[in-house]
Amino acid sequence: MTDKPEHLPERLALLADINAAKFLSTGVLSGHEAPPYIALNKITDPVDAKGVRTEVVPIRDLIDDVMHLFRDDARTKADAWLAPRLHAALRLSRREASDSRLWSFLALAVAPDYVVWRHLPTKGRNGLPPMVAASRFSGAHYTQAFSRLWWAAELFRDGSDYGPVQVACGNQDVLNTVLRLDIIDHRPTAQALIRLVAKETVTTGREVNALAVVTNAAASTLMYDVLAEDEEWDGGAFDAWVEEADSAPPVPRKVLPTGPDDGPVPLAAIDALAGRFEELFKDARVRGRTEVTDQLGDD
């Protein structure tokens, strides 16, 4: 398995996707080889940001901790712990977080061992050894190992409360399916979907996928932002949270951190959509559920 890099870079940097792809050999993807760190760091660009939030050590410490805490558990459980803490530690603007070069650098130069630890499958395909998908190192925001967690925390937090993030990241089908949907940019929609997961209205992966399908399809006609109006986003509070990174305390391990204080989602808006989504889900086609219902009806 890939080991922790012996010599960590001091600060975050940017690694272009085309350059990242050059280092994703079979050996790196299978965990049998480490990326060539010296060559890799020679072709990175510095980030524009300054200060504590560009330092590698706090992020690396989080990664070490999550790998230790969940060493004996299913690796998927690590997501719910790491996502809010990664978000709180990095304190990125959305513009910064949308730059895939940052996440490629983090995966290859700072924590390739985590990517292998978390995403290496138990079995290979077509006679090949087990290998991590290349997109976990350098890929879309909903697939890349670290980007998916940061964006899940950003889109599912309720203002400063990361509680809903734990629910979202505790269900792999939310991360794998719902995180891809444009409708979760609307905060009440995101919170309403997570409420149905939290109250176990939807539980299985098939049910989560069915809920995602029907809510996404209905968005073309229902206009969720009109049905459930959100309060105007306080961008100033978010910017202040980013700027306060240098004076912020270390990210706590035993309790959830506090996110940007840009206001909670209006409860009435969540209520309105959660009820609507629950009705949509009742009529959703869920694989397995239809067959069981038909059999009961025949009896």
Distance CA 172, CA 53 (A): 28
Question: Using an 8 Å Cβ cutoff, are 193 and 265 in contact?
Answer: no
Average pLDDT (86-110) is: 97
The whole-number pLDDT of residue 290 equals 53
How confident is the model at residue 285, as a pLDDT? Answer: 85
Cα–Cα distance measured from residue 106 to residue 146, given in angstroms and rounded to the nearest whole number: 8
Q: Which residues contact 283 (CB under 8 A, 6 or more apart)?
A: 214
Task: Name the nearest CA neighbour of 260 among 147, 162, 149, 148.
Answer: 162
Residue 250 has pLDDT above 90, yes or no: yes
- How high is the mean pLDDT of the chain? 94
DSSP secondary structure code for residue 185 in this structure = G
Angle subtended by helix axes 267-282 and 205-222, to nearest 10: 110
